[in-house]
Amino acid sequence: MAEPLKDLYSAAFIREFSEKVRNVHPPFSAQSFREDVMNEEWDEMKLKERIRHISLTLGRHLPSDYQEALNILYQLEKDCEGFRYLFFPDFVEVHGLSKENWALSLEALERFTVRSSSEFAVRAFILLEPVLMIAKMKEWAQNENEHVRRLASEGCRPRLPWGQSLPMFKADPQPVLELLESLKNDPSLYVRKSVANNLNDIAKDHPAAVIQIAKRWHESGDDLTNWIIRRGCRSLVKQANPEVLAMFGYADVWSDPTMVAAAFIENEPASIKIGETSELHFGFQVEAISTVKLRIEYAIDFVKAKQKTSRKLFLLADRNFAAGERVDRVKIHNWKDLTTRRHYGGLHKISLLVNGVEVAETNLTLTLS
Residue 335's pLDDT band, with cuts at 50, 70 and 90, is confident
Q: Where in the chain is the domain with CATH 1.25.40.290?
A: 5-248
pLDDT cut 70: percent of the chain above it: 94
Q: Where in the chain is the domain with CATH 2.60.40.10?
A: 260-367
Residue range 110-122: mean pLDDT, rounded: 97
Residue 1 confidence (pLDDT): 44
User: Is the confidence at residue 287, as pLDDT, over 70?
Assistant: no
> Three-state SS across 245-293?
HHHCCECCCCCCHHHEEEEEEEEECCEEECCCEEEEEEEEEECCCCCEE
Q: Over the stretch 218-269, which tens digit does the pLDDT of each residue have?
A: 998 889 999 999 999 999 999 999 999 999 999 888 787 777 776 778 777 7
Q: What is the pTM of this model?
A: 0.88
Lowest-pLDDT range, 71-80, 171-180, 182-191, 348-357? 348-357
Domain over 5-248 is classified CATH 1.25.40.290: yes
- Return all residues near 184 (Cβ < 8 A) that are at least 6 apart: 195, 217, 222, 224, 225, 228
Residue range 159-173: mean pLDDT, rounded: 95
CATH fold of 260-367 reads: Immunoglobulin-like (2.60.40)
Q: Over the stretch 64-98, which tens digit does the pLDDT of each residue have?
A: 999 999 999 999 999 999 999 999 999 999 999 99
Residue range 275-281: mean pLDDT, rounded: 69
